[in-house]
Amino acid sequence: MAEDWCAIDFGTSNSAVALPGPAQAVVLVGLEDEQPTMPTAVFYRSDGPVHAAPACEYGRAALAAYVDGIEGRLMRSMKSILGSDLLNQHTEIGAGRSVPYTDVVEGYLRRLKSRAEGHRGAPLRRAVIGRPVHFVDDDPVRDAQAQAALEAAARRVGFEEVHFHYEPLAAALDHERTLADDQLVLVADIGGGTSDFSLIRLGPQRRARLARTEDILAHHGVHVAGTDFDRRLSLSALMPCLGYGSFGPARAGRVPREVPSKVYFDLATWHLINTVYGPARVAELRRMRSDYADLQLHTRLMTVLEHRLGHGLAAHAEHLKIAAASQGHARADLSAVEPDLAVTIDEAAAGRAIEADCTRIEQAALETARLGGIAPQAVQAVYLTGGSTGLAPLVQRILRHFPQALAVRGDPFASVARGLGEAARRRWAAGAA
């Protein structure tokens, strides 16, 4: 059997790789310090020779370089670029240089492949790559373009054969290993970028089947998840400190106008933060000072732009989300923007901020059951995976619709990768070419 394959969980927030292991098992690669997951992050340094290719840091090293204040550009949520108009554009990295967004995705995949080959001790030429049910909601053309772009990047880094597998179905395969009896399971894979659901019959009598078409009753999902929660909390709690939702000065005969809001939406969206740092954009926003009645708000905004604090604010938003849900309240220290500036939020306020997104995710879960022709009461288990399933209020909202189901928690960061590895093993088992 040629074991020159791997399985890649290319996530919005974190990624993982599985390889063939002993006795028809799969193993996860230690991507960083033997950790099985690596943050989906790239940092382009701008302090090298102008005519040389920029040096890159990946994963935790990328985040550390940004926190340490090294000159350069941090890229996160690269998966969100797929299917967007950014895919065919460049992003500035400093020192007058830019790189295509496609190179960002390709470089990260190359890093994953290199780490996996180092672990395996041999080249890898085949890959199964996880994908959400929808890269792009309600747009099958752009969805297909997103998958094609990811496949093209995978082939450019050296994979000769590439297959895609739904991420929630992969999680189901990982869960199935533990089952002693057949179950009707709703898999809820809620990560950083998408919330995906699969309704599938699992069990020891079924796991040996290579074709699972008869067992899979429905797939559904929405392009809403953890980073969207962060964006909502950023807009509701952090961006007002910089002027979002504020008004300009009163002028004779005119009703005060709200200040332009696009910069705040960009600052609150991980994969768009870098777009606000261009010299022309910064100069344009600096000229808008007279549009603000409260000039202190404009001063704070310019501090964020000039010192490139956007990713730090995004990290604060993520902290607010987690702390408010787990502790009932949260505080973000914004002294980097202005001395003694801070924001506090309680669980109720955080819940209101993400209410619309949580409702969409709830409805997607119910729609999956409807598409499968199954009453919610018939679901026997809800298998939870993905980092955002750690948000207890969201999980409770989903579970209340499936009253007979046992809540089962998988590994939030590794179950999809292991399931993708199982899918790859089955695909290329028994000496398949």
415 neighbors 384 (Cβ within 8 angstroms): no
Distance CA 362, CA 431 (A): 43
What CATH code would you report for 5-166+416-427? Answer: 3.30.420.40
- What band does 206 get if pLDDT is binned at 50, 70 and 90? confident
- In sign, the C-alpha dihedral spanning 29, 30, 32, 36 is positive
* Prediction pTM value: 0.85
> Cα–Cα distance between 162 and 147 in angstroms, integer?
11
pLDDT digits (tens, 9 = 90+) for 105-163: 999 999 999 999 999 999 999 999 999 998 888 889 999 999 999 999 999 999 999 99
Adjacent-strand bridge partners of 92: 98
pLDDT of res. 104: 92
Q: What is the pLDDT of residue 51?
A: 63
pLDDT > 70? residue 52: no
Q: Is 96 strand, coil or helix?
A: coil
Q: Is pLDDT at 95 greater than 80 in this prediction? A: no
Residue 201 CA: distances (Å) to CA of 30, 347, 406: 32, 36, 15
Number of Cβ within 10 Å of residue 10's Cβ equals 25
Question: What pLDDT digit, counting tens, does each position of 314-370 carry?
Answer: 999 999 999 998 899 999 999 999 999 999 999 999 999 999 999 999 999 999 999
3-state secondary structure of 113: helix
Note the pLDDT of residue 432: 45
pLDDT at 378: 97
Distances (CA, A) of 292 to 71, 137, 285, 427: 31, 36, 11, 60
Question: Token pair for residue 112?
Answer: 């994953």
Give the residue range(s) of CATH 3.30.420.40 domains in the chain: 5-166+416-427, 180-225+355-409
The secondary element (H helix, E strand) that includes residue 91 is strand 90-94
Residue 234 pLDDT grade (very low, low, confident, very high; cuts 50, 70, 90): very high
How far apart CA 103 and CA 192 sit, in angstroms, is 21
Report the topology of domain 180-225+355-409: Nucleotidyltransferase; domain 5 (3.30.420)
Phi/psi zone of residue 23: left (φ > 0), alpha (ψ -120 to 50 degrees), beta?
Answer: left
Residue among 53, 43, 97 nearest 75 (CA): 43
